[in-house]
């Protein structure tokens, strides 16, 4: 079998929370040896859990991102059982070193000497202050490719500002374009597209760097501001302002290209189907699927524009049809007539979905600390170098022996010494309960 495309490429994963880890996750899937450099004496914000050792009360009642551990139990090492970490950390390796000591910094630099790419999404300047930014690492490895992706970028007057995913979404202009049109913008739960956009561009940037190095032998620094990865994705709204000074507002689930376009209640609790009709031909198919009820013949629904204008009334009529049907049933009825439709899927439905099953999207993985489960699989399929989850999410420090001895060429004696000095380990210092540094 041919090698994976990025086999032989080593990546230092100096990332936190979501955007950075997603970028390195994509590189790991494609065969790169991605090594997370972690520390048993410091738990970064949003690293291996929002709360490093979640208390019983949180585990019992918290939302799934906070408390979605296997069986809602923290286990002996909760940091190896966190669902979002275990999603992105597949195919990655984990080593530990105390980065607040000169020895730890030396270890990091030694790794940089034999690595190709660094991905860093810490706050702007954080790695630099440790001497582990591009300048510091370039001294030990002039060919290094450094992707620096703090929220607002590495230059510009706001570079030091701090914010989370939701703040970046708001600055990029996405939040106001996705709210309920009739409610205040705060009234929706959190889903931060910017982590995904920045993650994809982070991986893309690293590969651009790699290709340039392939051609020239040279490394380089690549600056990413997460908001600048979102803005191009709002193309129509941005261009409407540029061209017509029109400030677009949220359409909710509607679409200026189509009507009807919405989600409609189906039989069962909190079941919905999404339907979009783009043109007259599809409208005729839609009417056939409904059995041509008389309301569909009314003048006010006869053209695309009149349907767009009379959506409120039309939506109520459509829902009176969907409400007695299963979500999947509506999908099949409408798709048979060439109309875009599909259930608003929850997680259970995803795992059962015939399309995803047929394509083998989910992969079964056994993780030492979590047991056997299905996980989301590869983001795309390649014909000659197929990828998969080769290795379950890395446990803290699980690859220390390999990295220290095989990659960094430390001797057995040196390794034992580093173990005694506390660089090497698989458990966080007992004083760290939530996050942050150990109290020694």
Partner 1 sequence: MRQALDDIKVIDLTWYISGPYCTKLLADYGAEVIKIEKPGEGDPARKFPPFLNDEPHPEKSGLFLHLNTNKKSITLNLKSEEGKKIFLRLVEGVDLVVENFSPGVMGRLGLEYPSLEKVNPRLGMVSISNFGQTGPYREFKASELVLNAMATAMKSCGSKEREPLKMGGRVVQYQAGAMAATAAMVGILASKMQGIGQYIDVAISETQLGSIDRRGPLLVASQYTGEVEGRIEVGGSQWGACPDGIYPCKDGYCDVIGGAMWWPSIFKMMGEPEALADPRYGSWEWQTDPERKAEILAVFLPWARERTKEEVAEAASKARQAAAPVYTTADLLTNPHLAARGYFVEAEHPVAGKLKYPGPPCWPEETPWELRRAAPLLGEHNEQIYSQLGYSKQEIGLLRAYGAI
Region 246-265 residues binding partner 1, contact defined as CB under 8 A: 246-248, 250, 252-253, 255-258, 261-263, 265
- For 39, 210, 274, 310, 401, the CA distances from 96, given in Å and listed in that order, are 5, 26, 47, 61, 10
Q: Long-range pairs for 107-110 at CB < 8 Å and ≥24 separation?
A: 107/408, 107/418, 107/423, 108/12, 108/37, 108/132, 109/136, 109/137, 109/140, 110/140, 110/408
The residue count for binding partner 1 (CB under 8 A) is: 167
Identify the residue among 74, 93, 95, 339 touching partner 1 (CB under 8 A).
339
Contact by Cβ (8 Å): 343, 272: yes
- For 114, 119, 128, the CA distances from 28, given in Å and listed in that order, are 17, 12, 25
Which one of the spans 14-22, 111-119, 304-312, 420-428 is the region binding partner 1 (CB under 8 A)?
Answer: 14-22
Please tell me whether residue 274 binds partner 1 under the rule CB under 8 A: yes
- For 2, 16, 169, 299, the CA distances from 207, given in Å and listed in that order, are 20, 20, 25, 55
Residue 265, SS3 per DSSP: strand
> Which residues within the stretch 128-167 sit at the binding site for partner 1 (CB under 8 A)?
147, 152-153, 155-167
Please tell me whether residue 175 binds partner 1 under the rule CB under 8 A: yes
Site string for partner 1, 211-230 (x = CB under 8 A): xx-xxx-x-xxxxxx--xxx
CB 42 → partner 1: shortest distance, Å?
16
> Which residues within the stretch 397-426 sit at the binding site for partner 1 (CB under 8 A)?
none
CB 342 → partner 1: shortest distance, Å?
4
Please tell me whether residue 11 binds partner 1 under the rule CB under 8 A: no
Of 114 and 239, CB closest to partner 1:
239
Of 222 and 407, CB closest to partner 1:
222
- Rounded to an integer, what distance in angstroms lies between the CA atom of residue 291 and that of residue 286? 9
Q: Which two tokens stand for residue 398?
A: 């699980």
Which one of the spans 59-67, 91-99, 107-115, 298-306 is the region binding partner 1 (CB under 8 A)?
Answer: 59-67
Q: What is the largest CA-CA distance in the chain?
A: 86
Of 228 and 401, CB closest to partner 1:
228
Identify the residue among 138, 173, 295, 426 touching partner 1 (CB under 8 A).
173
> Which residues within the stretch 181-200 sit at the binding site for partner 1 (CB under 8 A)?
183-197, 199-200
How many CB atoms lie under 10 A from the CB of residue 283?
Answer: 21
> Which residues within the stretch 357-376 sit at the binding site for partner 1 (CB under 8 A)?
358-359, 361, 370, 373-376
The residues, any chain, with a CB within 8 Å of residue 218's CB and separated by 6 or more, are 142, 143, 212
Site string for partner 1, 80-109 (x = CB under 8 A): -x-xx-xxx---------------------
**Size of the chain in residues:** 440
């Amino acid at each position: 079998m041919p090698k994976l495309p990025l086999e032989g490429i080593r990546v230092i994963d100096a990332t936190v929370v979501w955007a950075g880890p997603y970028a390195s996750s994509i590189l790991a899937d494609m065969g790169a040896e991605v090594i997370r450099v972690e520390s048993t004496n410091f738990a970064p914000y949003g690293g291996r859990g929002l709360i490093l050792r979640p208390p019983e009360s949180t585990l019992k009642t918290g939302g799934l991102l906070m408390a979605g551990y296997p069986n809602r139990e923290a286990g002996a090492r909760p940091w190896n059982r966190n669902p979002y970490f275990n999603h992105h950390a597949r195919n990655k390796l984990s080593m530990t070193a105390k980065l607040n000591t000169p020895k730890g910094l030396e270890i990091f630099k030694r790794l940089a000497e034999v690595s190709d790419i660094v991905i860093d999404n810490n706050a702007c300047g954080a790695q630099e202050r440790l001497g582990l930014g591009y300048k510091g690492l370039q001294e030990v490895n002039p060919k290094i490719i450094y992707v620096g992706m703090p929220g607002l970028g590495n230059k510009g007057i706001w570079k030091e500002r701090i914010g989370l995913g939701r703040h970046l979404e708001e600055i990029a202009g996405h939040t106001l374009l996705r709210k309920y049109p009739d409610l205040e913008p705060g009234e929706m739960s959190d889903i931060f597209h910017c982590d995904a956009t920045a993650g994809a561009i982070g991986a893309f940037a690293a590969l651009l760097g790699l290709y340039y190095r392939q051609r020239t032998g040279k490394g380089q620094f690549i600056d990413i501001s997460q908001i600048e990865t979102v803005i191009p994705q709002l193309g129509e709204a941005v261009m409407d302002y540029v061209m017509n000074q029109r400030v677009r507002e949220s359409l909710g689930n509607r679409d200026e290209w189509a009507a009807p376009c919405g989600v409609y209640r189906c039989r069962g609790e909190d079941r919905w189907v999404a339907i979009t009709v783009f043109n007259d031909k599809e409208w005729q198919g839609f009417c056939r699927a409904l059995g041509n009820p008389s309301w569909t013949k009314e003048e006010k629904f006869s053209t695309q524009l009149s349907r767009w204008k009379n959506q409120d009334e039309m939506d109520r009529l459509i829902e009176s049809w969907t409400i007695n049907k299963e979500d999947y049933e509506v999908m099949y009825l409408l798709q048979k007539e060439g109309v875009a439709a599909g259930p608003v899927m929850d997680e259970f439905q995803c795992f059962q979905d015939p399309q995803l099953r047929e394509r083998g999207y989910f992969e079964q993985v056994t993780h030492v600390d979590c047991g056997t489960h299905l996980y989301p699989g590869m983001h795309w399929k390649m014909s000659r170098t197929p990828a998969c989850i080769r290795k379950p999410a890395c446990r803290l420090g699980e690859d220390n022996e390999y990295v220290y001895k095989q990659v960094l060429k430390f001797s057995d004696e040196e390794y034992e010494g580093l173990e005694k000095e506390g660089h090497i380990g698989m458990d966080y210092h007992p004083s760290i309960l939530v996050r942050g540094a150990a109290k020694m």
